[in-house]
Structure 1
Amino acid sequence: TFNIVPDDTILNKIASENDLTFYKLFYKEEDIGNDNHTLRIYKNRDEINLLVFHEGRAAQAADEIAIDRMYAANNKISVGDKLAIRDKEYTVTGLSSVPDYACLYESNSDMMFDAITFGVAFLSEEGYNAMSDAHESYNYAWVYNTAYADDTEAKNRSDDIIDSLEDTLKEYDEAQIQAQVNALYDDAKGIAKTLEKQFDSASSSIERKIEKAAGNAAEKAISSLSSDEITEVIVSASGKTKEELSEQTMALLGLTDEQKLQLQTMVLSGQITPDQTLGAALMLSGKSESDLMQLFIKASGLSMSKASEALMKKAAQNQGTSVDGLIAKQLGTSTSAYKAMIDAFEDAENMLDDVDADSMEAPVIDFDELDSEKDYENEMDFNLDDIYGILDKVDATKIYSTAEIRETLAKLQALMDTEINDSSILEVKNYIPRYLNKAVNFVIDDASGDEAGAMLMLYIIIAVIAFMYAVTTSNTITKEAGVIGTLRASGFSRGELTRHYMVLPVIITLIGALIGNVLGYFVFPSVFTKVYFLNYSIAPFEVFWTPKAFLLTTLIPLAIMIVIVFLVISKKLRIRPLNFLRGELKKKGKKKVVKLPAKIPFFGRFRTRILFQNLSSYLVLFLGIFAAAIMAVFGSMFGPLIDDYTELVQKTKIAEYQYVLMDKVETENAEAEKYCITTLNTTDEKYVMDDIGVYGINENSKYITKEIPSGTVLVSNGYMEKFGLEEGDTITLKEPYGTKEYALTVGGDYTYDAALSIFMNRSDYLDAFDEEDDYFTGYFSHEKLDDIDPDDIAAVITETDLAKIATQLGNSMGAMMSAFSGLGAVLFLLLMYILTKQVIEKNTKSIALTKILGFTNGEIGKLYLLITSLVVVASLILSIPLIDVALRWMFHSYMYTEMSGYIPYIIDNSCYVRMVILGIVCYALVAVGMMVKLSKIPKGEALKNQEL
């Protein structure tokens, strides 16, 4: 599932690299009703994971919808009903199922599916397109062009897809961000060039204004000074004497010889003093005062600017100000503002280098340097604050408007503030390969567990029936002892007689097997599939003959029957022919009568004789009752067991909230405690492979309260119980679908019933799995962590999730266990009827004789049926401790080896009570039938075949 619709080029590249084909399976999720129900809505499919309808048809109009059969059944929705989705009503046209939602898992991280509040639905293309896209997910299914051989190959191919996705998406996403960054920097270059021109223009304009102001200030300064002050300043600045300057100035006036003679005559005649010579020469030359000043400055050797500066300093001194003050006055601003502007301009050139267009280069984007693709931020950063400071100082002088420059800087600032648009980044939001998809695999795994239990019960029933055959045949041999002795004496071998007496049981078994196969393939599938249809959204299916099913349900039961019957009959026929003729069928010679105490009442002694005479039959009856009781208890134990297991799970939960993270994310919640977890697989070949959660726990953890010895691990009580582990044992686990193995020493157990788990010290965990010191995968917390982004959370395990497991186990096993209970009742009736009937038939002559002696049917019933009743009740009671032993053995030696996961072995006392009541009720029904049979035995039976 992607966050946005990927380009076809990306999908084609991934498909080509991994030899697969993608199929678009977009869906929209909508809440319906007021019970927090969610429908995942697809459009009708025509390529892959096609819909199968149990009732009705596909949606065709825009206001029609087909929904999942399981969700519909749980919420009492029928074809023709109306569903309101986003204020629009849809008519339910069909109840369907699809192979990718055989179990209604809303998320693959859910601990258990929920077919009550979550379902899938299907609209026509018109209806789907008309629905809001607000909650649409861009989901794709894929099919390998060549099928994989097993889950190991599937895992390797899946890893290749992940690598391909990472490389392809990284290349694509980097290009998306790089294009945006390049565009930003291209815009910034253009703005920088504009800014550079604006600053050059501003600088030139301000400089011209300052020069003009300075010139004006200089003129005013000179005009404010007397000639003596000017002379004094120039003399002082030039380093020459006044006479030298006067002489050089006179020379520069360019007087003619006649003018020079005239000037000299004026001095000699006393018309002017020597100090007035220069002024007189100026008059003679016809030049102005300003010309004289320029000549005077020229004579001094000073530049005009230096001379002006010296003169302005003098004028400023006279006025009690500074040169800057004089210029500022000409500019119409304050001295401080003018000086601040001048200082700012001295730094401006270096500052503008920061926005030099020629030096701007967009950074190269590399997601390997980021924790997440969406962590990239606009790194463009120019020192605009200082530039704004310069403009503020210029604005303070009011000699130049910086509005245009500010507009340009605002554009540059806007580029700096631009956030990189990560909406174009393509991300994988969800990735579930087929071999890890719970929505597909859970049914198969559950059926495998059911198969193990069913096979066990089947073989128990077959064994009991085989013993029934054997005992019945053994009684027949006893009745026909004389005939058998004659045949043996006539030359018939023991093998021939064994085959003769085995023919009927074998033929009956073969007929039963034939009928069973016919019923199993043509009748009962509809019965037993209802068990799965009650819990899973599976499609209607056809039953095919398979060699495995034939082996498990026909050949093995037939072999069990033949072996048991053969062993019993062959042992019975080992007696010598003469013993058969004499009726001595006990190997130890003539049977001696057991003397019973005279104190026992007649009826008591009579019943005891019946018990001894039919001991083998009663022994088989006990075994049959024991087997039926096992099935009855097995079928009824899971209801209370699930309740007890739910309570244990709640009591032993690690925390109210257990967060599993997608990546390392910090939280500010002080209640949260970091932990590490990984999943390993068991390697014991005796057991079905189990997933084991291996935790790395902090030292002095407040959630795992038991101390974990260094170098060893604590093992959950369920793991210890299922695998029969003890402290000090070494367990070997391996990485899933890999070859690396880990040997761990059991340092003790830890009570945690929710899952098969191992708890290690954090330091041991980091060493074992070669992780960094800051590595962690989740948090334990008694409070909800609201400061973690939901996108960073892989799963949250709460009390509700743990309870959901037990609830669904109860739902999924309920119907199957009811079948076992019913089978136990049938077995009770069958065994009690056959064996009680056998006791009656074996004692037909004795019963007829008692009738001749005047006993009533009720009295005879008390003699023959009461002892059987006592045997039945005693068998039921004696079975209780044996059932515990047997079921405990079955759990540990068979069920635990054939199923993944763990269910504790707990039998509630009420199960035994129900079993005893069921057995007594079944026998009561049989006893009524036997009383009827007993009443129909004629008295003449006592006179038949009497041996004299």
Structure 2
Amino acid sequence: MTKKMKNPLNRRLPRELKSEFGKYLVIFLFFIMVISLVSGFLVADTSLHTAYLDAFDKYNIEDGNFAYAEEASDDAIAAIEKDGKVKVYANFYKEEDTDDFESTFRAFGERNDIDKVCLLDGDMPKADTDVAIDRLYAKNHDLEIGDKFGVAGKDLTISGIVALSDYSTLYQNASDMMFDNDKFGVGVMTDAGFAALRENHLYYNYSWSYDTAPEDDAEAKDMAEDLMPILAENGMLTNFLPEYLNQAIIFAGDDMGGDMSMILAFLYIVIVILAFVFSITISNNITKEANVIGTLRASGYSRGEMVRHYLIMPMLVLLVAAVVGNVLGYTWLEQIFANQYLASYGLTTYEVLLNPQAFVLTTVIPLILLFIINFVMLTVKMRISPLQFIRRDLSKRMKKKAFRLNTKIPIMRRFQMRVIFQNFPNHVMIFFGVFFANFILMFGMILQPMLAHYQNTITDNVLSAYQYILKTPAETETGGAEKFCFGSLDTLPEKRSSESVSLYGVKPDSDYVKLHSSGKKVDISTAYAEKYGVEKGDTITLKDPYGSDKYKFEVGGIYDYPSTIAVFMEQDLFRQTFDYDSDYFNAYFSDQKIKDIDDALISTEITVDDLTKTSRQLIRSMGSMMNLFLVFGALMFVLILYLLSKIIIEKNAQSISMVKILGYNNREINRIYLHSTTIVVILCILITIPISSLVMKEVVEVVFFEYSGWITYYMPAVTYVKVAASGIICYAIVAFLLNRKVKKIPMSDALKNVE
């Protein structure tokens, strides 16, 4: 039996790889970059999200919590549990300012039944002065096990680092727009240690779990609405927060789920761009090797053999890139993305899980897509007869006569225009590649200036240096302090879930708030107006967060206050609307710190730091992620432009060789071929930057609409300049590499492949 001879075409593969090494290296690196990024993200996201979901059962996370003005009696708790079909747990906390650094610390007692604690390092508290604190709070204040810090005059010793299962995100209040793991922290103590802390800011907080857990948020909403009146009957309700609305519990999970959608959209966009790049690359390869293909076909090789041969190299390159990319994704990049989440959220321990979805999305789908695109392109091209290949007559349609250019246009300019028109498909892909790269670069650059602008705007438009919300009216002798009424209502759950709206009832001649409206009309903050699209003359409807009452207000003006979703009205209207006495007040504006009111009577103190926590936290948690986008955007810019520009040079290699014979030097040739591509690239940069900004504006507004509060989209002119400069610098690198490529094209190419 004769041994079957190996296919001689396979011997061409090493030579093809060597001759096209630059092109395949670019494609290889591009696939490694995309696959490793997406794989690493999906593995980290899935592993952390799985641990987050498992924590609900593992640590018995509450179904909600409520607070009373005073401690509930045993009879009240029994009545609630019977009528509400829930189990109620006391979960009191004390909240005090720290002595050694600027922050607010919320201390809990032992948690053995609900909202259990995950110990990450060290030991749980044993002595009365021991405390176990949140990991991020410890990290941001350089606190370690064994360190001490003061809370309301009492020194506490850190015995352990923990994650509180109901504080995966450090939201101090449900109405806060953003969490703050810098100036707010949580921890647990022994019951005796908790009792030893002063009770000036003791909150009678209770957690509940349903006897029968709701199946989804819709059922949880119905059950919460049924429970709230029962709670109101048994005590003075000061807070009511079902789990499905508790940002401290749900925000991290929602963010991880939202990021998954974003990264998948990014992957699909990249795959589409690569699909077009490959189609152009394959077409160019066939044109370049038309004589070889025609000779081989005439020698007896079938269409199928030729198709299989040209499929091997791109499929092999992608397969190796997929292996390398997944190895990087499961190791180095998984840790990078996991650290991004762990830098923002107080998550419990997790294990790295194998992610079949990541493998399918980053390896199987690209391989299938690449195979289909190559196969279809090659099958269509190989239908041309061998003689047509040899003659390089690859078009089935009659060649269109080139349209005439005005002879008054200088010869070099006409030459450049011809090059642009002849490579139109490549230039279209350059446009989309530049657009996507610009969008990524802009995304990496916009956060810092936008948040800085937001922070400056808040500082410039602050109502007062201090706002004091009181538990009960109290007098002060502080100079300049002004009384006002404060309350809160919720928006209706229409465009999004309900959101807290701060209500200010101020004097008509207030020194702090200059109202535009009077009588029955109200002002709304600019944050409210921009987020919900409300204008002067509109009527807004708000509802009682703890009841069914609804209130309608006519908007008489827009008050320049960007930090908070708020409504401003005259004091008399506030008192009439909510049925208060004519001299009622519960808050102060002041530009000086009020020191003559007992801390026990102050519910909340609002300063500029409180209003700017959103910008501080976003900069802290997303700063390194933005740097990753900048690097990726720049690399994508270079790789796509290099690949497509290289194709243009190779496609015109014979023409370049011919003009060299005619006496043109390298500088003149660069003016014809490289400068034409340069013109296209610069035009694409200038055109796509404003388009990217418009798309970015829509993306940012959609993203921040789901947050409490509002951040106005802002793009400084310098960012446009930075994006344009980044693109030009990236292309300069590409042009330098291509300039060397042009110089290496020999004049002998003009004598080859003569039609």
TM-score by length of 1: 0.58
> Is contact 2:490–2:498 with CA below 8 Å preserved after alignment?
no
User: Which letter maps to 1:912?
Assistant: Y
Q: Secondary structure at the match of 1:591?
A: coil
- CA shift digits 1:494-528 (9 cap, x unpaired): xxx99999999999999989987887676644222
Check if 1:829 corresponds to 2:632: no
Shift of 1:21: 3.4
Partner of 1:671: 482
Q: Are positions 1:812 and 2:621 aligned together?
A: yes
Q: Does residue 97 of structure 2 align to residue 35 of structure 1?
A: no
The offset of 1:70, in angstroms, is 0.8
In structure 2, what is the equivalent of residue 592 of structure 1?
402
Secondary structure, in 3 states, of the residue corresponding to 1:539?
coil
SS at match of 1:813: helix
**Distance in 2 separating the partners of 1:746 and 1:499:** 70
For residue 795 of structure 1, the aligned residue among 576, 589, 604 is 604
Superposition pairs of residues 406-805 of structure 1, within 5 angstroms: 432-444=241-253, 446-447=255-256, 454=263, 457-458=266-267, 460-473=269-282, 475=284, 524-542=333-351, 583=393, 585=395, 589-592=399-402, 594-595=404-405, 597=407, 600=410, 602=412, 605-658=414-467, 660=469, 671-674=482-485, 677-684=488-495, 688-689=496-497, 691=499, 693=501, 695=503, 700=508, 702=510, 703-707=513-517, 715-724=524-533, 749-757=558-566, 779=587, 781-782=589-590, 794-805=603-614
| Residues 903 and 736 (structure 1), Cα distance of their counterparts in 2 relative to 1, 3 Å cut | same
> Which of residues 116, 126, 132 in structure 1 aligns to 2:182?
116
Structure 1 counterpart SS, 2:562: coil
CA distance in 1: counterparts of 2:229 and 2:649, whole angstroms: 77
Q: 1:871 — aligned with what? A: 680
Cα distance in 2 for residues equivalent to 1:709 and 1:486: 91
Alpha-carbon spacing, 1:778–1:52, altered in 2? closer, same or farther (3 Å):
same
SS at 1:472 equivalent: helix
Residue 100 (structure 1) aligned with residue 166 (structure 2): yes
Partner in structure 2 of residue 919 of structure 1: 727
1:733–1:620 CA distance, 2 compared to 1 (3 A): farther
| Aligned position for 1:193 | none
Task: Give the match's secondary structure for 1:797.
Answer: strand
Q: Is the 8 A contact 1:466 1:560 kept in 2?
A: no
- SS of structure 2 residue aligned to 1:440: helix
User: Compared with structure 1, are the counterparts of its residues 675 and 26 closer, same or farther at alpha carbon in structure 2 (3 Å cutoff)?
Assistant: closer
Q: Distance in 2 between matches of 1:591 and 1:524?
A: 53
> How many residues are aligned here?
677
CA distance in structure 1 between the aligned counterparts of 2:195 and 2:695, rounded to whole angstroms: 62
- State the shift of 1:642 in Å: 1.0
The 3 A distance-change label for structure 1 pair 531 and 38 is same
RMSD: 5.6
Change (3 A) 1:434 1:499: farther
Whether 1:18 and 2:93 are equivalent positions in the alignment is no
Shift of 1:842: 1.7
Q: Which amino acid in the other structure matches residue 490 of structure 2?
A: T
- Quick one: distance in 2 between partners of 1:593 and 1:616? 18
Per-residue displacement from partner, 1:606-640 (whole Å, max 9, x unpaired)?
44443333233123213311221122112211211
**Displacement of 1:813:** 3.3
Could you say what secondary structure the match of 2:274 adopts?
helix
The residue type paired with residue 877 of structure 1 is L
Alpha-carbon deviations, 1:726-750, whole Å to 9, x = none?
Answer: 5666767676698887777766644
**TM-score, with length taken from structure 2:** 0.70
Given the superposition, is the C-alpha separation of residues 755 and 933 from structure 1 closer, same or farther in structure 2, using an over 3 Å criterion?
A: same
Q: Distance in 1 between matches of 2:689 and 2:629?
A: 18
- Cα offsets for 1:862-917 (capped at 9, x unmatched): 5543443343334333333333333334445x546666543212111221222123
Contact 1:676/1:775, CA 8 A, preserved across alignment: no
Give the superposition deviation at 1:530.
1.7
Structure 1 runs not aligned, ≥5 long: 170-426, 488-496
Q: Quote the offset at 1:840 in angstroms.
A: 2.3
C-alpha displacement of 1:597: 4.2
Aligned amino acid, residue 439 of structure 1:
A
Deviation per CA, 1:32-82: give whole Å up to 9, x if none. Answer: 553345544556655443333444454567786543211221122334656
Distance 1:437 1:855 in 2: 72
User: Conserved in 1, the CA contact under 8 Å of 2:175 and 2:500?
Assistant: no
Residue 947 of structure 1, CA deviation: 3.9
Give the counterpart of 1:840 among 640, 649, 663: 649
CA separation in 2, counterparts of 1:764 and 1:550? 61
Helix, strand or coil at the partner of 1:100:
coil
From the superposition, tell whether residues 828 and 690 of structure 1 become closer, same or farther in structure 2 (CA, over 3 Å): farther
The residue that corresponds to 1:77 in the other structure is 143
- Pair 125,918 (structure 1): closer, same or farther in 2 beyond 3 Å: same
Distance 1:715 1:5 in 2: 36
> What is the identity percentage for the equivalent residue pairs of Structure 1 and Structure 2?
34
1:75 and 1:638 map into 2 onto residues whose CA distance is 24
Distance 1:587 1:499, change over 3 A: farther
Unpaired segments of 5 or more residues in structure 2? 1-66, 297-305
Q: Which has the higher helix share?
A: 1
- 1:52 aligned residue: 118
The one-letter code matched in structure 1 to 2:631 is: G
1:909 paired with 2:720, answer no
**Distance in 2 between residues matched to 1:661 and 1:874, nearest whole Å:** 60
- How far apart are the structure 2 equivalents of 1:880 and 1:791? 55
Task: Tell me how far apart the structure 2 counterparts of residues 728 and 137 of structure 1 sit (CA, whole Å).
Answer: 41
Q: Kindly provide the amino acid, as one letter, of the partner of residue 916 in structure 1.
A: A
More strand by share: 2
Per-residue Cα deviation, 1:791-846 (whole angstroms, up to 9, x for no partner): 56543433332122322233233233333222211221221221122222222333
